Amino acid sequence: MVAETRLSPDNLIWPIFVCEGANQRQPIPSMPGVDRLSVDLVAEAVTHAKDLGIPAIALFPNTDPALRNAEASEALNPGNLINRATRAIKQAVPDIGIMCDVALDPYTDHGHDGLLIDGTIDNDATVDILAAQALVQAQAGCDIIAPSDMMDGRVGAIRQHLDQHGFSDVQIMAYAAKYASAFYGPFRDAVGSSSTLIGDKRTYQLNPSNSDEAMREVALDIAEGADMVMVKPGMPYLDIVRRVKTEFGAPTFVYQVSGEYAMICAAAQNGWLERQQVMMESLLAFRRAGANGILTYFAVEAAELLQQLNSA
């Protein structure tokens, strides 16, 4: 009766890694318990998530290395892995929300989120491609476009491009406060960009020492038309989650990223932490900090546990 915040399956968004082939389930060593799934298996897994009450999933591709190039041309292919997965899920599970990342890192041969011209990111050329990428994803059936690239002006450009092509109902969740973080390591293994990434992303992602700068980024994304904003990583940035919620009141999401997931799994495997308790405490803490929703690799496990607790 005195609990101020609650966690329910409808607060959770489940990120899924997709790979080529059929009947493929590829373990990701730095993310124990998370597998890349081929399109046929994704549709099955999403059916289970929907039955547990999870309202949305987020898709990330492990693109064939042979298709990666300097122009990220595969990002604009209507038949690329993400768009095929989106169509299959829409058909199998019509009422789950599908969120797709907008960024070029799964498609570039250098692993950066934007185009490199003479070794530096070309912001404006990248924004044009991102808007086109968002449109092919919307055409495939994506409900929520999630720009994770941190280029300046991309939210406004994507919004305008979607509206011009009749997709004003497609929502935008901006990775608004995205830090240049070492906690993304296992994710880059999962999408296959860690071995190719040259340099780091500090010229376009936020400096971990800054909080006011994050508020300015959030303000810009909201002004450009973001429907929802996100803070990322999660647990080391709960102060940012609280500030965003308090200062903007917009629907606020947080991403419990791959490195946070890996830390909890590793400690639990060693018997140093109690897995389920730490998982639930970390998710509840995001809610207390002000997050309306949480992207987490624990989504299915947490929703299963919540269902058991409710029926007990």
Question: In this structure, is the dihedral angle defined by the CA atoms of residues 201, 147, 78 and 115, taken in order, positive or negative?
Answer: negative
Among candidates 35, 23, 78, which has minimal Cα distance to 60? 35
How far apart are alpha carbons 136 and 157 in whole angstroms? 15
Count CB atoms within 10 A of the CB of residue 270: 8
15 phi, psi to nearest 5 deg = -80, 135
Count CB atoms within 10 A of the CB of residue 44: 11
Cα end-to-end distance, the chain, whole Å? 18
Indicate the helix (H) or strand (E) that contains 146: strand 144-147
Shortest distance in whole angstroms from residue 184 CB to ligand PBG: 4
Shortest distance in whole angstroms from residue 22 CB to ligand PBG: 26
In the bound state with ligand PBG, the residue whose beta carbon lies nearer, of 151 and 218, is 151
Helix (H, G, I), strand (E, B) or coil at 302: helix
List the one residue from 258, 265, 282, 296 that touches ligand PBG (CB under 6 A).
258
Listed ranges 70-78, 98-106, 279-287, 302-310: which one lies at the site for ligand PBG (CB under 6 A): 98-106
How far apart are alpha carbons 44 and 42 in whole angstroms? 5
Shortest distance in whole angstroms from residue 3 CB to ligand PBG: 28
Question: Any contact of residue 137 with ligand PBG (CB under 6 A)?
Answer: no
* Strand pairing class (56-61; 12-19): parallel
Question: Any contact of residue 101 with ligand PBG (CB under 6 A)?
Answer: yes
Listed ranges 75-83, 155-163, 181-189, 219-227: which one lies at the site for ligand PBG (CB under 6 A): 181-189
Q: What is the size of the binding site for ligand PBG (CB under 6 A)? A: 12
Which residues participate in catalysis according to the annotation?
178, 232
In the bound state with ligand PBG, the residue whose beta carbon lies nearer, of 107 and 167, is 107
In the bound state with ligand PBG, the residue whose beta carbon lies nearer, of 159 and 201, is 201
Question: Any contact of residue 257 with ligand PBG (CB under 6 A)?
Answer: yes
List the one residue from 88, 103, 115, 172 that touches ligand PBG (CB under 6 A).
103
Q: How far is CA 308 from CA 9, 54, 282, 303, 311, in A?
A: 12, 15, 19, 9, 5
Question: Any contact of residue 217 with ligand PBG (CB under 6 A)?
Answer: no
Question: Any contact of residue 113 with ligand PBG (CB under 6 A)?
Answer: yes
Question: Any contact of residue 221 with ligand PBG (CB under 6 A)?
Answer: no
Listed ranges 76-84, 121-129, 152-160, 182-190: which one lies at the site for ligand PBG (CB under 6 A): 182-190
Question: Any contact of residue 148 with ligand PBG (CB under 6 A)?
Answer: yes
Question: Any contact of residue 130 with ligand PBG (CB under 6 A)?
Answer: no
Shortest distance in whole angstroms from residue 59 CB to ligand PBG: 11
Among candidates 246, 219, 247, 240, which has minimal Cα distance to 286? 240
Output Rg (C-alpha) for the chain, integer angstroms: 18
Start-end of H helices in 33-184: 39-51, 81-92, 123-140, 154-164
Residue 118: left (phi > 0), alpha (psi -120 to 50), or beta? left
In the bound state with ligand PBG, the residue whose beta carbon lies nearer, of 34 and 244, is 34
Give the position of tokens 């059916």: 47
Question: Any contact of residue 187 with ligand PBG (CB under 6 A)?
Answer: yes
List the one residue from 68, 89, 96, 105 that touches ligand PBG (CB under 6 A).
105
Q: Which residues are near ligand PBG by CB under 6 A?
A: 101, 103, 105, 113, 148-149, 184, 187-188, 201, 257-258
